[in-house]
A and B are shown apart, each in its own frame.
Chain A
């Protein structure tokens, strides 16, 4: 079990897995940031039904395990979708202009990206909301006194401060996205944890495979944390708990 290090071929598998993990995490983070912001705006909407629906949505996605959500998206929803749509989703397509066309992602990737993005968006929305709440209410009043409209107050007073306050906790959430992406191995997505299991199956070098995967994860999370700390001085959400 300890003998030697992984053969270059298997290190290649692990690096491929790391690539998928990083690509998936980056895409999911971007989608989650945008969607999280939209959800936060809806959550703070003056319309009670809109705010209530957004609150229910956030609560549903925050309070159920990501693993169960992924199983639902991959195994459950595809059982409910019409066969023709599933056939289309599974068949290879070209995305966008042919010259820039990337290969159509396998359904594991689509389901994994959807699950991870929706889950993470719920947490990002709460970080945005916490940021907005921490802008002193007096500033809105001050804006009004200066004759600014609601929209002007939001765009030029509240949001710039809220984003500045929320960006370090949001970086913490991006770290969580990287860690949580490991769960997509359960739906057959060939990311880093999946690669570690593959290498272990072929070589039985469990320590080397899981050791290298662990180092890659810690390295990726540390890089995000280091960047956040250098740029903004703090790397994790104040509660530190919202996983």
Chain B
């Protein structure tokens, strides 16, 4: 074991070529995660609500679409968005955008079912009660359903963030200079310390993800203690 390979390249692991060049390394991993988490949250919410309100063929189309995004490997979707979408649709998405788009679509597809399950878990009587009080469907959704469903979803949303953090490592295949990519660059340059480098990188990811996991555990305990 040789710790100097880590200390010598620590800045590169953390921020990449920044500030002379673009931001990379662990900092870019965090940015990719935060952007994908936010966007997948929005998508999950929208599609989850749609799963609950749509009927007939549109519901089938949405289910099929979400099913596809849950079945496709992240690696494949990143390839499609980055390399094939520009050729097929003339849509030129930059590297960071491709990764965020792929992770958000997949994360959103998973979260949609969480949101949908949360909404379905509420007694149907609440809709009738709200209706009796003169609330519209949309008002019911935002004033009655959302305040009850959203807090209970928190743990699984945090789980989703952990998955997203790990999946950002796949940005490596299209040369986005996040943590895994700069790690392979360093390993390729110094050549003889792959074990040290990948262990250290694993620890960095662990710190990010275990932070989320701790938060998820706290949230779960907090909401478990609330009356259901």
Q: Report whether A67 and B170 are in contact in the complex, using a CB–CB cutoff of 8 Å.
A: yes
Binds A, one of B10-18, B54-62, B158-166: B158-166
B169 is contacted by which of A68, A79, A185 (Cβ under 8 Å)? Answer: A68
A183 to chain B, nearest CB (A): 7
B128 at the binding interface (Cβ < 8 Å): no
Which residues of chain A come closer than 8 Å to B198, judged between CB atoms? 68, 71-72, 75-76
Residue of B70, B110, B172 ringed by the most chain A CB atoms within 10 A: B70
Q: Report whether A65 and B166 are in contact in the complex, using a CB–CB cutoff of 8 Å.
A: yes
Interface flags for A222-239 (1: CB within 8 Å of B; 0: not) read 100100000000001011
Main SS of the interface on chain B? helix
Which residues of chain B come closer than 8 Å to A80, judged between CB atoms? 195
B156 at the binding interface (Cβ < 8 Å): yes
A14 to chain B, nearest CB (A): 13
Q: Report whether B88 and A69 are in contact in the complex, using a CB–CB cutoff of 8 Å.
A: no
Which residues of chain B come closer than 8 Å to A222, judged between CB atoms? 67, 71
Known A63-B210, A69-B202, A76-B194; judge A241-B72 contact (CB<8 A). no
Which residues of chain A come closer than 8 Å to B157, judged between CB atoms? 241
Main SS of the interface on chain A? helix
Task: Give A76 to B157 CA distance when docked, in angstroms.
Answer: 33
Q: Report whether A75 and B75 are in contact in the complex, using a CB–CB cutoff of 8 Å.
A: no
Binds B, one of A33-41, A95-103, A138-146, A206-214: A206-214
A189 at the binding interface (Cβ < 8 Å): no
| A interface residues, how many (CB within 8 angstroms) | 43
Which residues of chain B come closer than 8 Å to A185, judged between CB atoms? 75
A180 at the binding interface (Cβ < 8 Å): yes
Interface residues of A in 147-189 (CB under 8 A from B): 175, 179-180, 182-183, 185-186
Residue of chain B at shortest CB distance from A1: B87
Interface flags for B41-66 (1: CB within 8 Å of A; 0: not) read 00000000000000000000000000
Known A64-B206, A76-B199, A217-B73; judge A241-B194 contact (CB<8 A). no
A134 at the binding interface (Cβ < 8 Å): no
Q: Report whether B180 and A210 are in contact in the complex, using a CB–CB cutoff of 8 Å.
A: no
Task: Give A136 to B167 CA distance when docked, in angstroms.
Answer: 35
A188 to chain B, nearest CB (A): 14
Which residues of chain B come closer than 8 Å to A182, judged between CB atoms? 73, 75-76
A193 is contacted by which of B76, B205, B210, B213 (Cβ under 8 Å)? Answer: B76
Which residues of chain A come closer than 8 Å to B129, judged between CB atoms? none
Which residues of chain A come closer than 8 Å to B105, judged between CB atoms? none
Q: Which 4 A-B pairs have the closest CB atoms?
A: A76-B195, A63-B209, A65-B169, A241-B159
